[in-house]
Amino acid sequence: MDIFKRLLKLAKPHAFKFSVAMICMLFVGATTSALAFLVKPTLDEIFLKQNAKMLQWIPLAVVGIYLIKGACSYAQTILMNFIGQRIVADLRAELYRKIQTQSLAFFTRNPTGILMSRITNDVGYIQGAVSEAVTALLKDSFTLICLVFVIFYRDWQLAIIAMFVFPLAVYPIAKFGQKMRQVATRTQITLGSLMTLLQETISGTRIVKAFSMEEYENRRFSGENERLFRLNLKAVSINAVSSPFMEFLGGLGIAAIVFYGGYQVIHGQSTPGTFFSFLTALIMLYEPVKRLTNVNNTIQQGIAGAQRVFAIIDLVPEIRNLPDAAPLPRISREIEIRNVTFRYEEAPVLRNIDLRIRAGEVVAFVGMSGGGKTTLVNLIPRFYDVMEGAITIDGRDIRDVTVESLRGQIAIVTQQTILFNDTVRNNIAYGDIVKTEEEIAAAAKAANAHDFIVRLPMGYDTVIGEQGTKLSGGERQRISIARAILKDAPILILDEATSSLDSEAEIEVQEALENLMKGRTTLVIAHRLSTIRNADRIIVLVNGEIREEGTHETLLACQGEYCRLYNMQFKENGRNGGDHAALSRE
């Protein structure tokens, strides 16, 4: 019932349209029963008594009834579909907004395909329940009430016999609906898994092809697809068996009515017109009852979809503004990390981290993979919240300021460049789309991107494809750097920004990064130690703890973990031959 209440709450702003639609549905039900009502005078007055006056009026009445019924049916269809589509559009927008407010941990727990399925398929089931099922439910209910009035008016004894069949239908209708909801829930889960598989394999098609895994992925897809096929077939089976079952019950009722009503006509206790008017209303009565059975199945599918949608809408974001959160002024002194511990599950990823970073300082974080480098810098823009300890900027706990003002002071350039299927201009101006052409071009020049941009087919108006597939790796990275330069944030995070580039591209990108770092508090996660030679400080993280701290030269002199990493990388690069010159320059 809570699901229905929430859907009705969404419909509340459309109360007037809904009221008009209900009036139209009432007229549809009334005109349908009026046709059955006219059977008696048609048979008794025209065909038996041969009344010429009734021959003039009844055909006109039939035409008028059909005109009213058609107009009302059209109006209620338009109104109810408007309400249904509006509710679903609002619900989809609310769901998307809610997803956008979630932390990175939420997206780790919920694959992309599952979330896409919630926004498209689950909301689609709700649309079917709201737009189609509710309309049919109200219209058929009104029709049912009007036809029941006709059969009781014509012959209450026959009506009681006919109504005896209806209680028999209540239990199977409920059972069919229960089974349909279970199948619908399983179908939506399977569909989400299928979309996750599609998203992964299409976006990762290079890896699939590189490892010749096409046949393996085909088998995975076929397995999920076959599972979805069986569930859909089961849903069809439930729908298919419910209609014949209701028809059989209807047939039992009609058989009893024909026997008893025929007996009354033969013995002069009723007229043929009365009997056939009753029988017409009864036959018309079973049609809305049968449709209501199918409507129940559609509603159960909608409820299953709504439960999954509201489950996300009801989630309280892990990262959110406190009631008294205030904007964070521009950093002027320092970032302080005090006794910070963080874990994703059981084992801590960071342990008792204490660190002060002065405004304008360049601090690099190095260590083996899994040491906690990325996790540590992800805590500063509150992608995750610390579990113990605190992070402050100029003495203010970042949990006490607004998330928007905090992230407004931070620019990020990552190893995995995130670009959108949009123009170069809009990708650079992402986050502040009102920037002028001159500001965008200046940022591109500082990022060493302007020259290749103007050579593109449409310059800054060139659409670069999904994830910037029309650009090289170095070009994508320079667009990302231009975006960070344009943001002009005082804090900069560089997460292995050059580790995936070749030597030539790295030189251009490194120059762009140096332009970006000027005058900013910079946190660098470095894989290539050659890129952090000039850092003010280097922090060595091992198993989530700060093991060493100092400059490049002092850490090498200590012959500790940093020196071990340096020598290991020097030997690897010497064997590979690619970056030997870069390292030897140090």
State residue 400's pLDDT score.
Answer: 93
What pLDDT digit, counting tens, does each position of 49-100 carry? 777 788 888 889 889 998 998 999 899 888 888 888 888 888 888 888 888 8
More confident residue, 371 or 501: 371
Q: List alpha helices for 42-133, DSSP H.
A: 52-100, 104-109, 112-117, 123-127
Average pLDDT rounded to a whole number, residues 284-289: 74
Predicted pLDDT of residue 169: 58
pLDDT, average across residues 546-551: 91
Q: Report the DSSP beta bridge partners of residue 546.
A: 541
- Decide: 199 and 114 in contact? Cβ < 8 Å: no
Confidence of residue 47 (pLDDT cuts 50, 70, 90): confident
22 or 529: which leads in pLDDT = 22
d(CA 8, CA 21): 15
Least confident of 76-80, 122-126, 446-450, 539-543: 122-126
Give the range with max mean pLDDT: 116-125, 264-273, 334-343, 345-354: 334-343
Burial of 504 (0-12, 13-18, 19+ CB in 10 A): exposed
Residue 353's pLDDT band, with cuts at 50, 70 and 90, is: very high
Residue 582, pLDDT score? 38
129: pLDDT strictly greater than 50: yes
Residue 336's pLDDT is 94
pLDDT greater than 60 at residue 170:
no
Mean pLDDT over 133-158 rounds to 80
Distance CA 336, CA 390 (A): 8
User: Model pTM greater than 0.75?
Assistant: no
Average of per-residue pLDDT across 537-543: 92
Which pLDDT score is estimated for 585?
34
457 φ/ψ angles, rounded to the nearest 5 degrees = -50, -40
Q: What are the phi and psi torsion angles at 346 (to 5°)? A: -90, -55
Q: Is the pLDDT of residue 190 over 80?
A: yes
Characterise 130 by phi-psi region: left (phi > 0), alpha (psi -120 to 50), beta (else). Answer: alpha
pLDDT band at 392 (very low <50, low <70, confident <90, very high): very high
Q: Are 281 and 147 a contacting pair, CB within 8 Å? A: yes
Q: Which fold has domain 2-313?
A: ABC transporter transmembrane region fold (1.20.1560)
pLDDT score, position 86:
85
Share of the chain above pLDDT 90, in %: 16
Q: Compute the average pLDDT of residues 366-394.
A: 89
* Average pLDDT over every residue of 300-316: 85
Cβ(346)–Cβ(332) under 8 Å? no
Task: Please answer whether residues 39 and 273 qualify as being in contact, where contact means their C-beta atoms are separated by less than 8 angstroms.
Answer: yes
Phi (first) and psi of residue 523, to 5 degrees: -110, 120
Task: Tell me if 373 sits within 8 A of 544, measured CB to CB.
Answer: no
The Cβ-side half-sphere exposure at 212, using a 13 Å CA radius, reads 0
Q: How confident is the model at residue 1 (pLDDT cuts 50, 70, 90)?
A: low
For helices 165-203 and 214-266, the axis angle rounded to 10 degrees is 160
**Higher-scoring residue by pLDDT: 178, 52:** 52
d(CA 149, CA 157): 13
Least confident span in 103-107, 176-180, 355-359, 419-423: 176-180
Residue 227: is it exposed, middle or buried by C-beta count within 10 angstroms (0-12/13-18/19+)?
middle
How many residues are present in the chain? 586
Q: What residue type is 29 in one-letter code?
A: G
Binning pLDDT at 50, 70 and 90, where does residue 29 land? confident
Grade residue 535 by pLDDT with cuts at 50, 70 and 90.
confident
Residue 20: the pLDDT is: 93
| Per-residue b or e along 478-489, where b marks 16 or more CB atoms closer than 10 Å to that residue's CB | bbbbbbbbbbeb
Q: Contact at 8 Å (CB) between 490 and 330?
A: yes
DSSP string across 440-462: HHHHHHHTT-HHHHHTSTTGGG-
DSSP 401: B
**Contact, 367 vs 565, CB < 8 A?**
yes
Among candidates 513, 535, 508, 521, which has minimal Cα distance to 377? 521
Q: How far apart are CA 530 and CA 551, in angstroms?
A: 13
Report residue 308's pLDDT band, with 50, 70 and 90 as the boundaries.
confident
Across the chain, what does the average pLDDT equal? Answer: 81
Q: Give residues with Cβ within 8 angstroms of 446, minimum separation 6.
A: 482, 485, 512, 515, 516
Residue 585 or 427, more confident: 427
Q: List phi, psi (to 5°) of 411.
A: -110, 145
586 has a pLDDT exceeding 60: no
Residue 115 pLDDT exceeds 80: yes
Confidence at residue 81, expressed as pLDDT on a 0 to 100 scale: 83
CA dihedral 500, 506, 511, 516 (to 10 degrees): -10
> Mean pLDDT over residues 522-539, rounded?
83
Which candidate, 495, 482, 463, 284, places its Cα nearest to that of 375? 495
Q: What is the pLDDT of residue 580?
A: 38
Cβ-Cβ contacts under 8 Å for 293 (sequence gap 6 or more): 169, 173, 176, 242, 243, 246
Quick count: other Cβ atoms within 10 Å of Cβ 23? Answer: 15
Is residue 338 helix, strand or coil? strand
- Cα separation, 532 vs 552, whole angstroms: 8
368 has a pLDDT exceeding 60? yes
Range among 115-119, 439-443, 526-530, 576-580 with highest mean pLDDT value = 439-443
Span of 224-228, 338-342, 361-365 with lowest mean pLDDT:
224-228
Query: Which residues does 136 contact at the CB level (< 8 Å), separation at least 6?
Result: 291, 292, 295
Lowest mean pLDDT among 20-34, 100-114, 305-319: 100-114
